[in-house]
Amino acid sequence: MHGLFGGPKRQVFNKAYVHLLPEKPATIKCEACRIRNLSLCDAILPSELQELDELSSEIEFGANKNIFDQDELADAVFNIVSGVVRLSKLSADGRRQIVGFALPGDFLGLSMTKHNVLSAESVTLTRACRFPSVAFSELLQKKPHVLRRLHSITSDQLTLVQYQMVALNRNTVEQRMATFILTMRDRLRRTIGESNELPLPMTRRDIGDFLGMTIETASREMSKLAKAGVILLKSNGVSIIDEGRLKRLAFG
Amino acid sequence: MHGLFGGPKRQVFNKAYVHLLPEKPATIKCEACRIRNLSLCDAILPSELQELDELSSEIEFGANKNIFDQDELADAVFNIVSGVVRLSKLSADGRRQIVGFALPGDFLGLSMTKHNVLSAESVTLTRACRFPSVAFSELLQKKPHVLRRLHSITSDQLTLVQYQMVALNRNTVEQRMATFILTMRDRLRRTIGESNELPLPMTRRDIGDFLGMTIETASREMSKLAKAGVILLKSNGVSIIDEGRLKRLAFG
DNA sequence: CGTTGGGTTGATCGACCTCAATAAAAGTGG
DNA sequence: CCACTTTTATTGAGGTCGATCAACCCAACG
């Protein structure tokens, strides 16, 4: 069985991974974009779509490819069209903390800083819209309504990270794992729709690094939830069996 | 001895705590504002200062007063002029996590949401500039350069919280406490200048809640650092004795 | 003077990490 | 296709960091 999300996980490993599509197709590709209304581009007026289209280029990353690195010059921002991206930070001693997973509709480069504040890697095969930083920055200058939307998304993100911080501190690993599964399901609902089957293409290490626990603990918690009949472990994700129980484990 | 910061801690407890200063003094008060260049107001052009002045009113909070509450309607945003404010979030079960301390120059209400995403309480006697949400929102509409600055501050904040998240997960309580002391010193440098004497007017409980540890552990770590000769415990703060050691404890 | 809230210190306990072994899955080369 | 290596996941045994429970001190205050 192939991955539940974004196609097979490693078969694209050795292929060329960057495909720039033609920059000016016959039709305005932004018009057809399935995730536009989920993303920052929703702030773009219909009359401005052509302009946006000329700014962006579609780009594809195979699984486990580097999208950009922390502290490097940020030459572009991205809008995820499909796939899963892990966002990570390195601490002084070189250890890694995953600060989040970006899903279709999510924007990479919220902070518009000269240098990237974190690293981004594709987990699965990922397609994204790429905007050169300079051009995107000019767009923001010209269009305050887009800047307002960007700010709104950024502060939502701030709220989310603050929440994540609270959760990491005060909750047990069981609560955190349960919350993680529920949160991912909620976030994916808008792309894959209502489903009990949830793709989790990231590794146990990724999940552990995100939830502030070791890989072993992450695995144990998954097994524990499965044994308790709350979830079912699939090859590349989980099925939620008993949502009520899961919610009670996450909070309560 | 009085507090190192913002005056005595509890003597103002039973006094009226809100003093609205006259709204239109003879001079433009923003011009004389000592923290203007540290804050969002730095984005305001000299020619716009009068306008800003008319928008804002100075407000004073005694120690341990509520400034605004999570989930309540956000009728105003604030710019801290002096004092220390604790920002907290409540989790589902009612426990509190402190997401940060606001210092002079810091802005409360970054997210510009209809409802407050967190609660703010003064730790010490605190003076602030108050902007009604509606008026401030209009200001942002009219002046994109202020919005840009707001967005810049918000994304810096996002980066900071992400960093805090990493630190909470991966570091020992000793590292966290050492980092806390160093960070507070760095942040206060721009207001109180270069000094080894660092005011920490918040309680051990506040510090613990911020650093994700219990009050007892927070106290123990402070004592440990003091016994090791790295810091000196003062009545309302600490003195940094051995900065090099402290830095090595924070990282390494 | 008693009360109250903050701070310190000690003893005990448990959640989670560390270390270790094994299993399962996926990529590699013939 | 099959052997081989590498990576990922699972499970177990034991150790430890920090939480919990508890006692006590001290300063502020009515």
Cα–Cα distance measured from residue A203 to residue B112, given in angstroms and rounded to the nearest whole number: 36
In the predicted model, residues of chain B with pLDDT beneath 70 are 1-27, 93-94, 252
Cα–Cα distance measured from residue B249 to residue A92, given in angstroms and rounded to the nearest whole number: 12
**Exposure pattern of A67-88 as b/e (b: 16+ CB <10 Å)?**
bbeeeeebebbbbbbbbbbbbb
Q: Å between A127 CA and D5 C1'?
A: 31
* CB pair distance less than 8 Å for B165 and A99: yes
Which residue do the tokens 């980066």 mark? Answer: B159
Q: Would you state the structure tokens that stand for residue B127, as one six-digit string?
A: 């003076």
Q: Is the CB of A195 under 7 A from strand D?
A: no
| A80 pLDDT tier (thresholds 50, 70, 90) | very high
For CA atoms B211, B217, B221, B222, give the dihedral sign: positive
Report the percent of chain A where pLDDT is more than 90: 76
* CB pair distance less than 8 Å for B162 and A118: yes
Q: Closest chain B residue to A118 measured between Cα atoms?
A: B159
With a CB cutoff of 8 Å and minimum separation 6, the contacts of B76 are B68, B109, B130, B131, B132, B133, B136
Which residue do the tokens 């009050």 mark? Answer: B215
Model confidence, pTM: 0.88
| Residues near chain C strand, CB within 7 A | A 9-11, 13-14, 172-174, 212-214, 216-217, 235; B 203-205, 215-216, 219-220, 222-223, 233
Concatenating the DSSP letter of every residue in chain A gives: ---SSSS-SSTTTTS----PPPSS-SS-HHHH-TTGGGSGGGGS-GGGHHHHHHH-EEEEE-TT-EEE-TTSB--EEEEEEES-EEEEEE-TTS-EEEEEEE-TT-EE-TT--SB-SSEEEESS-EEEEEEEHHHHHHHHHH-HHHHHHHHHHHHHHHHHHHHHHHHHHHS-HHHHHHHHHHHHHHHHHHHH-S-SEEE--S-HHHHHHHHTS-HHHHHHHHHHHHHTTSEEE-SSEEEES-HHHHHHHH--
Mean pLDDT of A241-250: 96
Per-residue pLDDT at A8 exceeds 70: no
Helix and strand element counts for chain B (H, E): 8, 11
Cα B14 to chain center, whole Å? 23
Q: Which nucleotide is nearest to A175 (CA to C1')?
A: C15
Per-residue pLDDT at A231 exceeds 50: yes
Angle at which helices A144-170 and B144-170 pack, to 10 degrees? Answer: 20
**Could you give the 3-state DSSP secondary structure of residue B251?**
coil
Phi, psi at B59, each rounded to 5°: -140, 150
Q: Which of B155, B165, B171 is the closest to A165 by Cβ?
A: B165
**Cβ atoms A87, A120 nearer than 8 A:** yes
Per-residue pLDDT at A27 exceeds 90: no
CA distance B26 to chain A (A): 35
Nucleotides of C under 7 A from a protein CB: 6-11, 15-20, 25-28
**Cβ atoms B124, B9 nearer than 8 A:** yes
Q: Å between A250 CA and C16 C1'?
A: 18
With a CB cutoff of 8 Å and minimum separation 6, the contacts of A98 are A86, A87, A88, A206, A209, A210
Concatenating the DSSP letter of every residue in B208-235 gives: HHHHTS-HHHHHHHHHHHHHTTSEEEET
Residue B24 is predicted with a pLDDT of 47
Maximum Cα–Cα distance across chain A: 56
Per-residue pLDDT at A24 exceeds 50: no
CA distance A70 to chain B (A): 12
**Cβ atoms B125, B62 nearer than 8 A:** yes
Lowest average pLDDT, out of A22-26, A117-121, A173-177, A245-249, goes to A22-26
Cα–Cα distance measured from residue A129 to residue B180, given in angstroms and rounded to the nearest whole number: 39
Q: Would you state the structure tokens that stand for residue B246, as one six-digit string?
A: 């402290």
Q: Å between B168 CA and C18 C1'?
A: 20
Cα B31 to chain center, whole Å? 22
Pairing of strands B66-68, B76-82: unpaired
How is residue B200 annotated by DSSP?
A: -
* A114 and chain B in contact, CB less than 8 A: no
Among B165, B172, B210, the residue to mutate for chain A (most A Cβ within 10 A): B165
Mean pLDDT of A156-176: 91
Per-residue pLDDT at A178 exceeds 50: yes
Q: Å between A215 CA and D11 C1'?
A: 12
Q: Which of A141, A151, A169 is the closest to B168 by Cβ?
A: A169
Q: Would you state the structure tokens that stand for residue B148, as one six-digit string?
A: 């840009």
Radius of gyration of chain B (CA): 19
Paired residues of A122 in beta bridges = A85
Q: How many other C-beta atoms are found inside a 10 Å radius of the C-beta of residue B244?
A: 8
**Could you give the 3-state DSSP secondary structure of residue B52?**
helix
Cα–Cα distance measured from residue B96 to residue B167, given in angstroms and rounded to the nearest whole number: 19
Q: Which of A95, A110, A165 is the closest to B168 by Cβ?
A: A165
pLDDT digits (tens, 9 = 90+) for A121-159: 999 999 999 999 999 999 999 999 999 999 999 999 999
pLDDT digits (tens, 9 = 90+) for B196-221: 999 999 999 999 999 999 999 999 99
| A167 pLDDT tier (thresholds 50, 70, 90) | confident
Q: Which nucleotide is nearest to B8 (CA to C1')?
A: D28
Which residue do the tokens 């472990």 mark? Answer: A233
Residue B10 is predicted with a pLDDT of 38
Mean pLDDT of A167-188: 93
**Could you give the 3-state DSSP secondary structure of residue B116?**
coil
